[in-house]
Amino acid sequence: MTSKYPGPRVRISRDRNLAWWRRILPVMASHRATFLLAIGLSFLSLVFQTLVPNMLNGAIDHDLVRHSTALHSDVVRILIVGLLAGVSGIVSRQYVFRTAYNVEADLRSLIYEHLTWLSFGFYDRVQSGQLISRANSDIRSVQMYSTFAPLILVQCCIGVLAFGFMLSISPLLACIAMTVMPILYFVGIRMRRVMFPISWITQARLADVATIVDENVNGVRVVKSFAQEEAEVNRLADAAERVAWAYVKDAQIRGKWSPWVQNLPQLGLALVLFFGGWMVIDGHLGIGAILAFNAYLLMLQAPFMMLGQLVMMGQRARASAERIFEILDETPEIMERPGAYDLADVRGSIDFDHVRFSYSDDAEILHDFDAHIEPGESVAIVGRTGSGKSTVARLVTRFYDVDDGVIRIDGHDVRDVTLPSLRDHVGVVLDEPFLFSISIHDNIAYGRPDASPEQVEAAARAANAHEFIERLPEGYGTVVGERGYTLSGGQRQRIAIARTLLVNPPILILDDATSSVDVHVEAGIYEALNRLLAQRTTIVIAHRISTIALASRVLLLDEGRVVASGTHEQLLASTPLYAEVLAQSTKPEED
């Protein structure tokens, strides 16, 4: 199914010195046709509304007082103007909502697109719940204000038109009605200042709740295994109480300031009724005029009542926008260099030239790591927990960049080639495979969506996965549960292997890829892999002797460097550390 949504046409402004709404403005401007139409129709509707009281004034004066015109003709004209106001208002709202949801879709797409470009280091330090919250509730706050604030301002502009009509009726009474407006202005300024901090706190605490829920859903097996359901419920309750405190504080601020914004115009209405009534009694003002005047005052009340809401929406939108900008202003650590070129016609040689690397300012994981792998060679990397085995795989694919030294593929520094071409030629099967909540066929074909069913099946057979897939209720059409947890660990790993084999990369990295597979299944996988590995360069992160047997050469790591290299038999005979490492048969933690 092809999506009708074309995607965002523009980006937000990168100038951090601009006000938050000016940074969002390019996204709004990309939908200016529908937005300006909505604003124009809204303005037209309000103009028609302001004409009605003036027409009513004339009708009362001419029809009921002087009897100079027919009543029914004025009634018809007022009905026509009212109908035009209603129709233009309805059409305006349709275009407003269309613009609002398109802007929301653009902002959400911009965040997701940016998240896909951010480096692994960003995800190492940021909680997923925080990202989910900013991509949902924060975007909604920004969208609502960005779209509806101009409409409220249009209504405020119509208040100016209404005030013009009031001046035409009685300048003195109009000035009396507006005596409360300076007080409203200062109340609005004060309200804006006190609303922003609590708006930021509220959004941040909502994100904390989202984080806890996300962790508990993804880690439900751990929670239940340790019988910590009550502890997690209490943890969520504490977070929910913090959100409740923020909402209560928000309500207290609204309760303190909103009555001023909403009721001060009522004071103006009381003054108008008092002085206007006195002027009518004295014959200085007609009955129709005082009725029209009151109608215009009611029109003025609506914008001022919404002004308080606009201030609150604005402060929440500002807080949300700044939280969104924290993501969009994040610069990827892994970026293509100027002039990066595609990696093509890969033979598969890999050189590690005195590589040094650490994940943070802590101790180095790799220290002077130096190795050469020939095209088509299969090399196993063996070492203690934390020796840097998995880190080697992450550096080859540029999930992280080396601190010093160079990694070359066919003589090309991996930092000089484009990222898509690099990762197209280097396939990785991780020790903890991730499956999407889609069919098994689509999971295997994830890297090649255009692959035929026959090609998908061939990859599954190569990974020794075809037999168990065929036994599933819908075969390759079976939809797996979230993260693939409806399958066993071994089944998930075989599908992950098939997914990589279908892409058929010239360089293959197996990061302890058969750790969850039993010995009998593992033997079947290795039988298929042995035929495929002869055609590609392979790095095997290994702990089992059976896995090491796939490789023609073994590199022994210790303290971040290669301390020995040779065949399995040679290292067993010459290097005691190698035998010691193999003796630790339990699966180590990811390093």
CATH code of 463's domain: 3.40.50.300
Residue 227's pLDDT is what? 67
The Cα 8–Cα 107 span in angstroms is: 8
- Domain end among 328, 361, 391: 328
pLDDT higher for 69 or 74?
Answer: 74
Residue with tokens 């005195």: 354
pLDDT higher for 381 or 523?
Answer: 381
User: Is residue 139 assigned to a domain?
Assistant: yes
At residue 355 the predicted structure's pLDDT band, cuts being 50, 70 and 90, is: very high
162: pLDDT strictly greater than 50 = yes
Residues 503-512, mean pLDDT to the nearest whole number = 85
Q: Which residues contact 283 (CB under 8 A, 6 or more apart)?
A: none
User: Is residue 555 assigned to a domain?
Assistant: yes
- Domain end among 270, 295, 328: 328
Residue 589's pLDDT is what? 41
The Cα 360–Cα 120 span in angstroms is: 13
Phi, psi for residue 53 in degrees, rounded to 5: -60, -40
Question: Of the given ranges (67-71, 400-404, 498-502), which has the lowest mean pLDDT?
Answer: 67-71
Kindly state the tokens that stand for 379.
Answer: 């090399």
What is the sign of the dihedral through the CA atoms of 53, 54, 55 and 57?
positive
Kindly state the tokens that stand for 363.
Answer: 């101790």
The Cα 485–Cα 554 span in angstroms is: 34
Adjacent-strand bridge partners of 578:
none
| Residue pLDDT, tens place only, 22-68 | 888 888 888 888 888 988 888 888 888 777 777 776 666 555 555 55
280: pLDDT strictly greater than 70 = yes
Can you give the pTM of this predicted structure? 0.67
Residue 247's pLDDT is what? 84
Regarding whether 262 and 195 lie in a shared domain, the answer is: yes
Strand order in the sheet with 412-413: 366-373, 350-357, 404-409, 412-413
What is the sign of the dihedral through the CA atoms of 153, 154, 155 and 158?
positive
Closest-CA residue to 546 (of 512, 589, 572): 512
Regarding whether 256 and 194 lie in a shared domain, the answer is: yes
User: Is residue 335 assigned to a domain?
Assistant: no
Regarding whether 356 and 282 lie in a shared domain, the answer is: no
| Residue pLDDT, tens place only, 71-102 | 667 677 878 888 888 898 889 888 888 888 88
Long-range contact set of residues 467-476: C-beta below 8 Å, sequence gap at least 24: 468/494, 469/440, 472/440, 474/439, 475/440, 476/439, 476/440, 476/441, 476/444
Regarding whether 368 and 315 lie in a shared domain, the answer is: no
At residue 518 the predicted structure's pLDDT band, cuts being 50, 70 and 90, is: low
Long-range contact set of residues 97-103: C-beta below 8 Å, sequence gap at least 24: 98/34, 99/31, 99/34, 99/35, 99/38, 99/147, 100/143, 100/144, 100/147, 100/148, 101/143, 102/31, 102/34, 103/27, 103/28, 103/31, 103/143, 103/146, 103/147
Opening angle at CA 131, ends 129 and 135, nearest 5: 115
Strand order in the sheet with 553-558: 426-429, 507-511, 537-541, 378-383, 553-558, 561-566
386: pLDDT strictly greater than 60 = yes
CATH code of 184's domain: 1.20.1560.10
User: Is residue 539 assigned to a domain?
Assistant: yes
User: Is residue 588 assigned to a domain?
Assistant: no
At residue 532 the predicted structure's pLDDT band, cuts being 50, 70 and 90, is: low
Regarding whether 315 and 400 lie in a shared domain, the answer is: no
Residues 310-335, mean pLDDT to the nearest whole number = 82
Regarding whether 363 and 420 lie in a shared domain, the answer is: yes
Closest-CA residue to 405 (of 335, 353, 358): 353
Residue 128's pLDDT is what? 73
Regarding whether 312 and 356 lie in a shared domain, the answer is: no
Regarding whether 435 and 314 lie in a shared domain, the answer is: no
Kindly state the tokens that stand for 42.
Answer: 């809204």
Number of domains in the chain: 2
188: pLDDT strictly greater than 80 = no
Mean pLDDT, the chain, as a whole number?
A: 79
143: pLDDT strictly greater than 90 = no
Residues 144-167, mean pLDDT to the nearest whole number = 77
Helix extents (H) in 397-488: 419-425, 440-444, 453-462, 466-470
At residue 2 the predicted structure's pLDDT band, cuts being 50, 70 and 90, is: very low
Phi, psi for residue 17 in degrees, rounded to 5: -85, -10
Pairing of strands 507-511, 426-429: parallel
Closest-CA residue to 314 (of 157, 182, 195): 195
Residues 105-130, mean pLDDT to the nearest whole number = 80
Regarding whether 388 and 321 lie in a shared domain, the answer is: no
User: Is residue 589 assigned to a domain?
Assistant: no
- Domain end among 296, 328, 360: 328
Residue with tokens 């000035």: 175
User: Is residue 55 assigned to a domain?
Assistant: yes
Kindly state the tokens that stand for 96.
Answer: 């407003």
Regarding whether 544 and 479 lie in a shared domain, the answer is: yes
Range of the domain at 437: 350-583
Q: Where are the beta strands (DSSP E) in 362-515?
A: 366-373, 378-383, 404-409, 412-413, 426-429, 507-511
Q: Tell me which DSSP letter residue 484 carries.
A: G
Q: Which residues contact 559 (CB under 8 A, 6 or more apart)?
A: 367, 387
* Coil, helix or strand at residue 369: strand
Pairing of strands 350-357, 366-373: antiparallel
Pairing of strands 350-357, 404-409: antiparallel
Closest-CA residue to 489 (of 518, 466, 464, 460): 518
User: Is residue 3 assigned to a domain?
Assistant: no
Percentage of the residues of the chain whose pLDDT score is greater than 70: 84
Q: Considering just the CA atoms, what is the radius of gyration of the chain in Å? A: 35
Residue 414's pLDDT is what? 92
Q: Which one-letter amino acid corresponds to residue 245?
A: W
Q: Which one-letter amino acid corresponds to residue 335?
A: M
The Cα 337–Cα 69 span in angstroms is: 81
Regarding whether 285 and 359 lie in a shared domain, the answer is: no
Answer for the pair 82, 18: CB distance below 8 angstroms, yes or no: no
Residues 168-193, mean pLDDT to the nearest whole number = 75
Regarding whether 391 and 307 lie in a shared domain, the answer is: no
